[in-house]
């Protein structure tokens, strides 16, 4: 009971204590280092933005240049491998939807990952085209 009351009191005080934006000096909300107008100067926000821009640049490069532009260490490959690891076999179309990239670009990723030996595509009629990670899940993929 006392602990909850203390936390509430701390929050209420934090809200009341005026903080100032490190960039322009304007009053910021709840002790934040930046005002709403300069929130993009926050290191975390910058990092997220850089990652998103890098991902978009890679997608454009892969769409234009094909499998050779795929970055095996990149964010998109990590997303694909993460999905296959967590949820198992998937069709190319489903992978494309889940990673939010277009089907044609996903086919380039699949080609590159197959060439690298990271994934394989099932050939059994029932699951033809299904993508699986190479290794532990091979048997489940047919």
**Residues within the interface to Zn ion (CB under 5 A):** 21, 23-24, 26, 35, 37-38
The DSSP bridge partners found for residue 133 are 119
Q: Please, which residue, 42 or 127, has the CB nearer to Zn ion?
A: 42
Q: Please, which residue, 35 or 77, has the CB nearer to Zn ion?
A: 35
Show the 3-state SS of 114-132.
Answer: HHCCCEEECCCHHHCCCEE
CA 100/CA 84 separation, integer angstroms? 15
Q: Please, which residue, 35 or 62, has the CB nearer to Zn ion?
A: 35
Q: Which residue has the tokens 């699986």?
A: 132
CB of 42 to Zn ion, least distance (A): 11
CB of 15 to Zn ion, least distance (A): 18
CB of 29 to Zn ion, least distance (A): 11
CA 142/CA 132 separation, integer angstroms? 9
Taking CB atoms, the residue at the shortest distance from Zn ion is 21
> Which spans in 2-137 are helix H?
2-16, 43-65, 75-87, 92-99, 103-115
CB of 18 to Zn ion, least distance (A): 13
Q: Please, which residue, 25 or 117, has the CB nearer to Zn ion?
A: 25
């Amino acid at each position: 009971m006392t602990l909850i009351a203390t936390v509430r009191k701390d929050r209420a005080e934090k809200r009341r204590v005026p903080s100032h934006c490190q960039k322009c000096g304007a009053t910021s909300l709840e002790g934040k280092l930046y005002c709403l107008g300069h929130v993009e100067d926050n290191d975390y926000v910058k990092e997220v933005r850089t990652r998103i821009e890098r991902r978009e640049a890679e997608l454009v490069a892969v769409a234009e240049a094909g499998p050779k532009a795929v970055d095996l260490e990149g964010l998109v490959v990590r997303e694909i491998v993460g999905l296959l690891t967590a949820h198992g076999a998937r069709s190319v179309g489903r992978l494309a939807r889940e990673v939010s990239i277009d089907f044609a670009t996903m086919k380039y990723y699949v080609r590159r990952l197959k060439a690298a030996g990271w994934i394989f595509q099932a050939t059994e009629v029932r699951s033809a085209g299904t993508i699986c990670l190479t290794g532990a899940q091979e048997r489940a993929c047919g």
